[in-house]
């Protein structure tokens, strides 16, 4: 689902339907040029209307069409907030008014995915009693320029509270006397 008529965009909120998008595709790249040519100029103005869905009260969940596109959520976050191709950063944004905040993009990659999959009681947010499925990054992505979000590196990945990537002990700060 990447082209949604403006009259249908508010219906996501009205009906309680979750829109699922692959965020890295909401940018200009060669395939998008083919898409625009095929659907015409009018329909090209409502491709991946992420911001409009959210403004209309809808919920957005992000995923990846890996291996066709990257599964890197940091690239997805970056494109969601900039609408600029993460591989070709000189391209203009695709419908810049459809960009969303970093907070909204993180929710779309975490809690909203858990809700869409019916597992929000176990994962999707950092809450007592839920699985500790999370990552530790080498920097605070809220302090980075939006076009550098994907420069952050994952130091540790926890799945159900256990490190499956990186060394959790290496993150522990020394105790000060």
Q: Report the pLDDT value the prediction gives residue 125, as an integer from 0 to 100.
A: 94
Cβ(150)–Cβ(27) below 8 Å: no
Per-run averaged pLDDT (10 residues), the chain, 177 residues: 91 96 94 94 96 97 89 96 96 98 98 97 94 94 97 96 92 68
- Quote the pLDDT of residue 118: 96
pLDDT confidence of residue 73 = 95
pTM recorded for the entire structure: 0.93
CA angle 13, 18, 21 (to 5 degrees): 120
Distance CA 119, CA 111 (A): 9
pLDDT of 171 reads 84
Q: Residue 67's pLDDT is what?
A: 85
> What does the alpha-carbon distance between residue 156 and residue 144 come to, in Å, rounded to a whole number?
19
CA distance 57 to 32: 27
> Which two tokens mark 34?
């083919």
Which helix (H) or strand (E) segment holds residue 91: the answer is none
């Amino acid at each position: 689902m990447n082209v949604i008529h403006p009259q249908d965009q508010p219906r996501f909120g009205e009906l309680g339907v979750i829109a699922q998008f692959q965020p890295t595709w909401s940018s200009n790249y060669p395939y998008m040029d083919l898409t625009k040519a095929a659907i015409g100029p009018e329909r090209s103005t409502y491709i991946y209307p992420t911001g409009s869905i959210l403004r209309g009260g809808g919920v957005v969940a992000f995923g990846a069409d890996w291996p066709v596109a990257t599964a890197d959520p940091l690239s997805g976050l970056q494109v969601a907030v900039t609408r600029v191709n993460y591989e070709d950063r000189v391209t203009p944004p695709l419908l810049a008014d459809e960009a969303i905040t970093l907070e909204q993009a993180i929710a779309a990659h975490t809690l909203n995915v858990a809700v869409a999959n019916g597992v929000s009681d176990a994962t999707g947010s950092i809450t007592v009693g839920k699985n500790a499925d999370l990552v530790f990054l080498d920097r605070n992505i809220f302090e980075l320029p939006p076009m550098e979000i994907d420069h952050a590196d994952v130091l540790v990945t926890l799945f159900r509270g256990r490190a499956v990537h990186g060394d959790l002990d290496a993150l522990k700060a020394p105790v000060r006397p």
